[in-house]
Amino acid sequence: MSDISLSGGGPLANGAAPTDAVDTFERHRAALRASKRGWTIFALVVFAICLGLSIWISNFYPERLASGIPRIFEYFGTIFPELQWANLFEGRDADGRAVPGSITYWYTDFWTYAQLIWETILMAMTATLIGTAMAFVLSFPAAINLAPNSWIYWISRRFLEVCRGIPEILLALVFVFMIGIGPLAGVLAIAIHTAGALGKLFAEVNENASARPVEGIAAVGGTWPEKIAYGVVPQVAPNFFSYAMLRFEINVRASSIIGFVGAGGIGQELNRVISFYSDDRVLAVLILVVLTVTVIDLMSERIRHRFIGRENL
């Protein structure tokens, strides 16, 4: 019986067909690897050309950087205040004037700065809340796995791109022209940009959410809002919150910048001291802004850990 099976004239007996199949598979795999290798080499060449052009256009040369580094210290030398150790901690004199060379003299307008920084924080908080709410609503139709149809997906995506594609300072200029100088223009500008940036991040989080809860809700007759509310939101809420807190920190810094065009906050004061060449006051304002951002970062980290639970980290 075994002799018959080994000596038969069928195609499987002499091994010709399996050999041909293996050869075909190996040739196909070799062709795929060669194609992938070719595209990889092409992409690397394009990247190298773009990198070289960017270095050439920006003059990003080591010798230029080396010659410019000492000038950084020269600049900080011009904006550093003339503090005197003997008068460093002196208060005000009998006439209520700050003693030159003291920290009090350097921060003569401290309470003005503090008030403007608080205004900046409130601007960032309001803009973040408005922008996050807009991003939350738009992120679901902007997710390809959740959009009701392709048209709604396309419109939502393009709208978010427009919102984040226009710089905050340009939006602030437009709103200052529309409604006048003040914090409201800054809040609207930052809120729109926040909606565009967070909307994209939220949509990508939605696209990575598990489809099983959504399918379960759909199987029992759930509507599209019910699938979103009960199948997607519980999964993505921690990531949404984390991104929103990060965006709040970014918005605090953005609120400091858009004040240069009259949109309120500490930026207006920073623009004033720069315009009047009060270099030591520039450093004073910058130190307060950095300290504010640092404190907000520490607080937001604690809030985020408490919200998502340390066991999930």
Task: Please count the other Cβ atoms lying within 10 Å of the Cβ belonging to residue 42.
Answer: 10
Instruction: Identify the bridge partners of residue 92 per DSSP, sorted by sequence position.
Output: 98
pTM of the complete model: 0.76
pLDDT digits (tens, 9 = 90+) for 78-104: 777 777 777 777 777 766 677 777 777
Tokens of 215: 């399918």
Cα separations in angstroms, 101 against 80, 81, 90, 98, 274: 12, 8, 9, 9, 21
Q: For the chain, what are the domain ranges?
A: 12-58, 72-108, 109-312
Pick the CATH number of 109-312 from 3.30.2130.10, 3.40.50.300, 1.10.3720.10, 2.40.30.110: 1.10.3720.10
Token pair recorded at residue 178 = 């529309």
Structure tokens at 225: 């809002």
- Report DSSP state, residue 220: T
pLDDT in tens, 6-45: 444 445 445 556 677 777 877 888 888 888 888 999 999 9
Q: Which residue has the tokens 């379960």?
A: 216
pLDDT grade for 3, boundaries at 50, 70 and 90: very low
